[in-house]
Amino acid sequence: MKRYFLLIVLALFTVHTSEAQSSCSAYYPLVDGANFQYTNYNKKGKEEGQINYKVTNVQNGGDTVSAIMMMEMVDRKGNTYTSDYEIACDGNVVKIDFKSLMNEQMMSQFEDMEMDISGTDVELPNNLSVGQELPDGNMELKMKMGGAINMNMNVETINRKVEKKESVTTPAGTFDCFVIYSETKTKMMMGNQTFPSRTWLAEGVGMVKQESYNNKGKLTGSMVLTQFSK
């Protein structure tokens, strides 16, 4: 279960670097009832599970729009995990406060632990262009697992860059996308690792596809938009 929790944290960090569309965002529809379904695949293309998202409780306040994103994650064995967190669009940039990922529902899964989370937002501006460099972000998680056992995890999203424009087809349709390259650097007690990834973003839809690679550039897994409605 603890291993599953860490996978969820990484999935949240890498998937939702932006999560809104309204008058202040060109990506992801921030409207009540919008639904996204993503299917996870391993390096051989075998289905590993699904993540479902639903936008709720949208609040408009001048140049700022906020909402609650409800998440349900189902692995290949049928185990499910649900959570929700806040997202916001401020001006023409979408941001996430990573502390909001650690809500009471998630904390209740680990009543025997003390956790502290901090970090900086990952931002996505409206006006993307090929060759554009994007700001880094990071998240630090400190866990007390009982007794004298403590675990710290630091996750950084670095080297973010808009590589190209490309059309991509998924079960949800065909989309014109910007392709964003980034590297997720994790630091844990067992060592440091860096995982490159690419994300395909479509205006008005958001993330359409994501691919993750090992440090040699070989595909290790992917996530594809399989259903979308708003």
Tens-place pLDDT, residues 187-230: 877 678 888 999 999 988 888 999 999 888 899 999 999 999 88
Tens-place pLDDT, residues 125-179: 888 999 999 988 888 878 776 666 677 878 888 899 999 999 999 999 999 999 9
**What is the fold, at CATH topology level, of the domain defined by 2-229?**
YmcC-like fold (2.40.360)
CA distance 132 to 127: 10
CA distance 12 to 111: 21
Residues whose CB is less than 8 angstroms from the CB of residue 118 and which lie 6 or more positions away in sequence, other chains included: 98, 99, 139, 140
For the entire predicted model, the pTM comes to 0.78
What is the Rg, in whole angstroms, of the alpha carbon atoms belonging to the chain?
A: 17
